[in-house]
Structure 1
């Protein structure tokens, strides 16, 4: 999956799910001032929830909606807010370990027109 806006690019690559539904996941992020990456695990069900959340945001035109999503291990967290005119504010926190160590957090903005790309990208990587 790729989430790309001005000043923020995140790529998430996953393996096929194992028998329990876990996918090994590699993240790479570029915020223009920081580049890095790490590996974590995402459960297939929680990835599908992210896809659904993105679709909910896209379908929310004319409404104010806020959706929080994180993987079970707490390595990836998003706080999506969309206003009535389709402007998105997205807070994020990325960390190789949810228990200790460094993390990257911040915000980026986009408009609703980015969502179809993100949704399609999530679906193509989470099947």
Structure 2
């Protein structure tokens, strides 16, 4: 039951923010496994955060390498999502009745001058991670 509810929640959130669901096999990155690894790392005890002079232990137990791998994979996934949407917007592949998702709104803010500030691609990725 936990897996079904987790899958449903992930599908709803990704459909609202990214515009579609990303199941394994649809993209080069297994998004479900990536999110599970991210959540596992968030719950992992990081001794270097509590006792800074023992930060070297994270290299031995592999925590640093796991964090770097997840960060790299997540960055590549979000970059591919944003790039896919930029290409889609440039080609004008939207139908008139199609609703815009959160990435489209962020790209409109990035391209528009009415906000008074600029959004860089890293800022877009950070906002998507928070959402």
- Decide: shared fold, TM above 0.5: no
Say which structure is richer in helix.
Answer: 2
* Greater relative contact order (Cα < 8 A, sep 6+): 2
TM-score (norm 1): 0.29
Say which structure is richer in strand.
Answer: 1
TM-score (norm 2): 0.29
The structure that has the greater radius of gyration is 2
